Amino acid sequence: MKKTFLSLILFLTLAGFIDSIYLTWEHFNNVLPPCSVNNLFPILSDCGKVLKSPYSVIFGIPLAVIGVIHYGLLTLAVLGVIIYKKRVFSYWVIIQSIFGALASLYFMYIQFAIIRSLCLYCTLSSLISFTILVLVYIFLKKERFQLHTSLYAFIYQNFVKRIFFLLDPEFIHGIMIKRGAFLAKTPLIKFVGSKLIYKDNSLKQKLAGINFENPIGLAAGFDYNADLTQALYYLDFGFQSVGTITNGAYRGNPKPLLGRLPRSKSLMVNKGFKNKGARAISEKLGNLHFLIPVGVSIGVTNSQEIKSLEEAVKDIVISFKTFEKARVKNSYYELNISCPNLVNAKKFNFYPQKNLDLLLAALDKMKLKKPIFIKMPIEKTNQEVVKMLDVIVKHKSIKGVIFGNLQKNRKDPSLLQSEVKKFKVGFFSGKPCEKRSNELIKLAYKKFGEKLVIIGCGGIFNAEDAYKKIKLGASLVQLITGMIFQGPQLISQINLELIDLAKRDGFKNIKEAVGIDSR
Ligand SMILES: Cc1cc2nc3c(=O)[nH]c(=O)nc-3n(C[C@H](O)[C@H](O)[C@H](O)COP(=O)(O)O)c2cc1C
């Protein structure tokens, strides 16, 4: 189908080329074309009046010659798309066809409004330009989306990020959340935003009973008070986790809460579950309908008052009950057992099999209808992780695992020590999480891939990073840091490129790629 229409575009560019060559020949030989003697519609078609007018030459160059160059280049670009299938040729065709149509619009205006006569050969050229633009608009839709996301990426990375990165990261985070929530309430922005989303069946999956339009989600921690649930659809996210939310509200650890390590492609995180608490957030979400699957990430309240494992389990169960009672329409829960920034972290932990079993048994008892995914640590050994997974698969309420949380090891080779030294507290997101996240996805997929949905998280900065996690065994992926470094258009860019990567490897749907590198 696409090939047929590309051939049609090629035919039109060639027609425009021949038309322009004829007009050029006519110009240099001072010959008037036959339409100059049309007696039936003298006003409508006097080519001579147009072709001899001062408007037929720009900066000393006859328009007809510009037409030859325009259609000649366009023909080459279309041939490039057909033969080499390279994206750069598609971008070239799109940009040139926009300029061609705009120029044609201007020339038609000159003929109608100023010269008050039409040249049929010039009008034919304009019609060809408009038809090419319409065909390009329809049949190079994905490439069009790719072009404008590349443009946004350029603007973000070269201008916006440079300014943002001069300012306090916590301040910028706050601004982005406020602006995002505000924009999602503006009808015009919503309308425009909805036109900028490219949907493709090859990215759709149904997992744990939930329909996902695409596999890219926002990881827990960015939208910690659930302010962006109406906004992220417009950034092309396939799902999002809000939180981590705790039973008791928490104002955040002593500052700094956030820091940047640009050369390590990482963020220092020391928030310690800063959030407004389960009650306030569940009340806010209670009446909302969500455009994408929303997950509520729940963790233990960050307080010295929680002194034992039993108290911690009770605290977590209360948060789950609060959300259930408020009838929030979230699609899933995320259970965060791996936050490294808690004041009570030394008093208990959920890693030993016995402790994890106690927590998950308490959740099983709630008989929740929504699946729970567990946010796993990445600093445990393979053996320890397998032991945790052995417990997890025995509990019915747990349908999946997320690999994983922040990098705790300050000496990880992917972290530049000169950057780490700037921070006395906190743990690290982004690239330093990637290697271990990928290893654990592979491990979990090999041993438990049949029983658990695996979600990959850590260090995704482009489509290749996401695809790697998918091929290792992740059905879905989540990110935060990549979006902050690359720009909010990254989600669309990843989705668009995943379609091509899956197609390149012969998969009709992204789910066919899941785990192929771990089998
Ligand atoms: C600012 C920030 C806050 C975070 N807060 C949470 C959190 O509250 N709960 C959680 O499970 N993970 C939290 N994380 C960890 C992320 O969800 C994710 O696991 C980690 O950043 C790796 O993904 P990334 O490399 O795409 O950022 C946070 C990460 C960042 C950058």
CB 329 within 8 A of CB 289: yes
SS3 content of the chain, % helix, strand, coil (to 5): 55, 10, 35
Task: List, in order, residues 6 or more apart from 236 with CB less than 8 Å away.
Answer: 196, 197, 198, 214, 216, 491, 492, 495
Using H for helix, E for strand and C for coil, what is the string for 283-327?
Answer: HHHCCCCCCCCEEEEECCCCCCCCCCHHHHHHHHHHHHHHHHHCC
- Least confident among 46-50, 108-112, 491-495: 46-50
Structure tokens at 126: 């304009």
- What confidence score (pLDDT) does residue 41 get? 56
pLDDT tens figures, 195-252: 888 889 999 999 999 999 999 999 999 999 999 999 999 999 999 999 899 999 888 8
Same domain flag for 227 and 112: no
Task: List, in order, residues 6 or more apart from 262 with CB less than 8 Å away.
Answer: 165, 419, 485
pLDDT tens figures, 362-390: 999 999 999 999 999 999 999 999 999 99
Same domain flag for 228 and 110: no
Same domain flag for 27 and 176: no
CB 240 within 8 A of CB 294: yes
Ligand 1 neighbours, Cβ below 6 Å, are 219-221, 224, 243-244, 258, 267, 269, 271, 273, 297, 336, 339, 375, 405-406, 429-430, 433, 457-460, 479-482
Burial pattern 56-72, b for ≥16 Cβ within 10 A else e, equals beeeeebbbbbbbebbb
Looking at the structure of the chain, the number of domains it has is 2
Give residue 28's domain range.
Answer: 2-139
**For residue 350, how far is its CA from the centre of ligand 1 (angstroms)?**
19
pLDDT tens figures, 470-515: 999 999 999 999 999 999 999 999 999 999 999 999 999 999 999 9
pLDDT tens figures, 132-169: 999 999 888 888 899 989 999 999 999 999 999 999 99
The residue whose C-alpha atom lies closest to atom 18 belonging to ligand 1 is 405
Structure tokens at 474: 């992740």
User: What percent of the chain lies above the pLDDT cut of 90?
Assistant: 68
| CATH number of the structural domain spanning residue 133 | 1.20.1440.130
**For residue 139, how far is its CA from the centre of ligand 1 (angstroms)?**
39
The pick from 271, 336, 337, 406 for probing ligand 1's pocket by mutation, whose C-beta has the most ligand atoms within 8 angstroms, reads 406
Same domain flag for 266 and 362: yes
Same domain flag for 326 and 222: yes
Alpha carbon separation from 204 to 200, 212, 214, 503 (Å, rounded):
7, 6, 5, 14
**For residue 269, how far is its CA from the centre of ligand 1 (angstroms)?**
8
Instruction: Please tell me the distance from the alpha carbon of residue 444 to that of residue 446, in angstroms, as a whole number.
Output: 6
| CATH number of the structural domain spanning residue 437 | 3.20.20.70
Instruction: Please tell me the distance from the alpha carbon of residue 331 to that of residue 496, in angstroms, as a whole number.
Output: 25
Q: What are phi and psi of 354, to 5 degrees?
A: -60, -45
